[in-house]
Amino acid sequence: MALLQIAEPGESAAPHEHRLAVGIDLGTTNSLVATVRSGLAVVLRDELGRPLLPSVVRYLPDGSCQVGYEAQARQALDPRNAIASVKRFMGRGIADIANHESMPYVFQDGPGMLRMHTVAGLKSPVEVSADILRVLRLRAEAALGGALVGAVITVPAYFDEAQRQATKDAAQLAGLPVLRLLNEPTAAAIAYGLDNAAEGVYAVYDLGGGTFDISILRLSRGIFEVLATGGDSALGGDDFDHRIFCWIIEAADLKPLSVEDASMLLARAREAKEYLTVHGAAPISGRLSSGEIVDLTLTTEIFAEISQTLVAKTMQPVKKALRDAGLSVGEVKGVVMVGGATRMSQVQRAVGEFFRQDPLNNLDPDKVVAIGAATQANLLAGNRAAGDDWLLLDVIPLSLGLETMGGLVEKIIPRNSTIPTARAQEFTTFRDGQTALAIHVVQGERELVSDCRSLARFELRGIPPMVAGAARIRVSFQVDADGLLAVTAREQTSGVEASIVVKPSYGLSDDEIAGMLKDSITHVRDDAQQRALKESQVDAQRLLEAVRAALAADAELLAADELARVHNAIARLEAAALADNRRQIMLAMDDLEADTKDFAARRMDKSIRRAFAGRNINELDSDAAATTTGEHA
């Protein structure tokens, strides 16, 4: 149809101006940008024709950064500064991150969200994501020839408010107006449904690099109705890589690895996983910095076995989502597979067995989310065309509630409610003459406030003094079609009112974002980074002193070669402590601690022997006596 639209020179083919909007799949492993051109959603490619942008950002000493393939290629050589899978850190503290100790980054916990030390200074996950988004924005602007009115950015359905807000902050930092955040499985369903004119109930099983989502949708005459969503925001293809990585260490019986070796083996693990999607066995080989050679073969059977618990872990949210939707397995007409990690054969098999049907794989799992997002962006930008008549009815993924007496949660809007939605509930005062009420808005499924995410706090003041329980305070929650929550509290007899539009307190404040923008220009070295460095230098000195004192007292416990090794480690830590690299200091401390472990054990033995010397066995406690009587009798 588009071919028939012939315009006179100087005249626009469109009846009204086409507003430039894009859909962005900001993925854990790869990111994409797509747009609707002449009624067709297409993925925009880079200057070399590549559709994917690896979600890797490498920071350089001059404060600039490389994004994508270039950064990915340097990942093994510069693991600390080449940040990959940053999506896993969005809106998260260190405690939230599984396996963070085996990651090459130097983390620092910040208010609400962790930060990473790089040669270009301290970086928050928001900044790293913004660097990815900026590249995609520029790619789109170059391809479309103008500024964008906005973007629909996809997020895992199971992202909570903190993670969503962090994503919005990243877009703002990258100069991208956000039309909406769209759930990834929903985006996939839109792309799939419009492409296949599908009708009925579909499940979208979306296993990405770092997140797992399940959504159940009903497709009916152009309406996409999300019935339920569920998932795990910390489970994805990366975890399968990690399982293989652990298997390599065990199978090859490797000693603790350097950061570079670990990074190299993790890359081999990922390659093996990808190789196994089309082959029955994958060779894994590599040479460690020590010269040691790793040479193993991973079969699909072993891989299925070591990753079995991960696959099983995805099935719990599937069951829960079906239950929330009030459906049985038999009522699901098709299962759409999304995300590169669904290429693994054991995942395909498990999903097929559960739903008792072959999963649908006819769309490119890498592109389907971006295509769906572009379609929604086109609609929200106001480019609706005739025959383009479809609509999305989405839900909120997690329950919203209020804190009540005793730190308990009163759910106001249950998870999987279709938005927009509003609910109100009446509360009352707890004490006589109480004139203010603190309102604490939380998100989550648990009973205790401490187990849920805190979203916002505000106060209703000016309640006329009454006896406890007499005031009638109506608290209303309104969630709009963008998923934005507004809370209003109103005392019914006096009419006093207070309200808040919820922006999570642990996202980044506008000031912080402004600050980051400034920092990114001036590359100001961060105070916190300096403090962390100072702290590690102090720790290093403390360790050195302890070891020196021990050597002065008990050096005779060590053989000559052992003593030389300890002296060597001491010299390395002394050198590291003088330089300004916290990671090097920490590594040198680890080495010294490892090299003095046996020494410490022998000193312990010696001091115990000294303590026991000259004492009769009867003076020892009865347990010890009981086990040793035989020898002494």
Partner 1 sequence: MRPPGGALVESPTTVAWQTRRAPLLNSMDFNTDHFTLFELPVRFRLDAALLDRRYLEMQSRVHPDRFASAGESERRLSLQWATRVNEAYQTLKKPLSRARYLLHLAAQDVGSENNVLMPADFLVEQMEWREAVAEARAAGEHHELEHLHHRLQGDIDERYGELAVLLDDRRDLEQAADRVRRLMFIEKLLVELDDAMIACEEQ
Nearer to partner 1, 39 or 382 (CB): 382
Are the beta carbons of 178 and 153 closer than 8 angstroms? yes
Distances (CA, A) of 229 to 184, 212, 320, 324: 11, 11, 9, 8
Per-residue interface string for the shown chain with partner 1, residues 298-337, x marking contact by CB under 8 A: ------------------x--xx--x--------------
Active site residue 562: no
Q: How far apart are CA 261 and CA 525, in angstroms?
A: 29
Single out the segment in contact with partner 1 by CB under 8 A; choices: 67-75, 238-246, 330-338, 411-419: 411-419
CB of 230 to partner 1, least distance (A): 12
CB of 489 to partner 1, least distance (A): 18
Per-residue interface string for the shown chain with partner 1, residues 357-386, x marking contact by CB under 8 A: ----------------------xxxx----
Starting at the edge strand found earlier in the chain, the sheet holding 408-413 runs 408-413, 400-404, 437-443, 453-460
CB of 476 to partner 1, least distance (A): 11
Nearer to partner 1, 128 or 332 (CB): 332
CB of 189 to partner 1, least distance (A): 15
Instruction: Identify the residue among 295, 301, 451, 480 touching partner 1 (CB under 8 A).
Output: 480
CB of 196 to partner 1, least distance (A): 18
Alpha helices in 280-385 (DSSP H): 300-306, 308-325, 345-355, 368-380
Active site residue 25: yes
Pick out residues in 34-73 that bind partner 1 (CB under 8 A).
Answer: none
Phi, psi of 156, deg, nearest 5: -60, 140
Q: How far apart are CA 452 and CA 415, in angstroms?
A: 13
CB of 23 to partner 1, least distance (A): 15
Nearer to partner 1, 124 or 478 (CB): 478
Q: How far apart are CA 367 and CA 284, in angstroms?
A: 29
Q: How far apart are CA 231 and CA 315, in angstroms?
A: 9
3-state secondary structure of 589: helix
Does 443 sit near partner 1 (CB under 8 A)?
no
Single out the segment in contact with partner 1 by CB under 8 A; choices: 27-35, 291-299, 418-426, 567-575: 418-426
Instruction: Identify the residue among 389, 432, 497, 545 touching partner 1 (CB under 8 A).
Output: 389
Does 392 sit near partner 1 (CB under 8 A)?
yes
Nearer to partner 1, 21 or 577 (CB): 21
The catalytic residue among 78, 87, 127, 232 is 87
CB of 515 to partner 1, least distance (A): 32
Per-residue interface string for the shown chain with partner 1, residues 260-299, x marking contact by CB under 8 A: ----------------------------------------
Q: How far apart are CA 190 and CA 197, in angstroms?
A: 10
The catalytic residue among 206, 239, 241, 403 is 206
Distances (CA, A) of 249 to 63, 103, 209, 238: 35, 15, 22, 17
The catalytic residue among 131, 169, 184, 591 is 184
Active site residue 184: yes
What DSSP string describes 435-488? --EEEEEEESS-SBGGGSEEEEEEEE--PPP--TT---EEEEEEE-TT--EEEE
CB of 504 to partner 1, least distance (A): 22
The amino acid present at 6, given as its one-letter code, is I
Phi, psi of 109, deg, nearest 5: -75, 135
Residue 463 is encoded by which pair of tokens? 């309640």
Nearer to partner 1, 298 or 380 (CB): 380
Nearer to partner 1, 73 or 315 (CB): 315
Nearer to partner 1, 155 or 318 (CB): 318
Instruction: Identify the residue among 436, 481, 579, 594 touching partner 1 (CB under 8 A).
Output: 481
The amino acid present at 590, given as its one-letter code, is D
Q: How far apart are CA 257 and CA 265, in angstroms?
A: 10
Locate the DSSP E strands across 480-612: 485-491, 497-501
Nearer to partner 1, 267 or 486 (CB): 486
Burial of residue 364 (CB within 10 Å: 0-12, 13-18, 19+) is middle
Q: How far apart are CA 131 and CA 45, in angstroms?
A: 17
- Give the rounded distance of the alpha carbon of 389 from its chain centre: 34
Per-residue interface string for the shown chain with partner 1, residues 561-600, x marking contact by CB under 8 A: ----------------------------------------
Pick out residues in 605-624 that bind partner 1 (CB under 8 A).
Answer: none
Burial of residue 313 (CB within 10 Å: 0-12, 13-18, 19+) is middle
Nearer to partner 1, 300 or 421 (CB): 421
The catalytic residue among 25, 241, 366, 491 is 25
CB of 333 to partner 1, least distance (A): 16
Nearer to partner 1, 223 or 586 (CB): 223
Instruction: Identify the residue among 94, 302, 393, 533 touching partner 1 (CB under 8 A).
Output: 393
What DSSP string describes 174-226? TT--EEEEEEHHHHHHHHHHHHHT--EEEEEEEE-SS-EEEEEEEEETTEEEE
Instruction: Identify the residue among 5, 418, 493, 530 touching partner 1 (CB under 8 A).
Output: 418
Number of residues that bind partner 1 (CB under 8 A): 27
Residue 543 is encoded by which pair of tokens? 């360790």
Single out the segment in contact with partner 1 by CB under 8 A; choices: 46-54, 249-257, 344-352, 474-482: 474-482
Active site residue 87: yes
Are the beta carbons of 300 and 281 closer than 8 angstroms? yes
Q: Of 549, 608, 182, which Cα lies nearest the Cα of 369? A: 182
The amino acid present at 88, given as its one-letter code, is R
3-state secondary structure of 334: strand
Pick out residues in 169-228 that bind partner 1 (CB under 8 A).
Answer: 179, 220-223, 225
Single out the segment in contact with partner 1 by CB under 8 A; choices: 32-40, 161-169, 414-422, 434-442: 414-422
Nearer to partner 1, 481 or 604 (CB): 481
Are the beta carbons of 169 and 126 closer than 8 angstroms? yes
Nearer to partner 1, 408 or 625 (CB): 408
Are the beta carbons of 490 and 477 closer than 8 angstroms? no
Single out the segment in contact with partner 1 by CB under 8 A; choices: 107-115, 420-428, 439-447, 520-528: 420-428
* Binding positions for partner 1, rule: CB under 8 A: 179, 220-223, 225, 316, 319-320, 323, 379-382, 389, 391-393, 417-422, 478, 480-481
Catalytic residue list: 25, 87, 184, 206
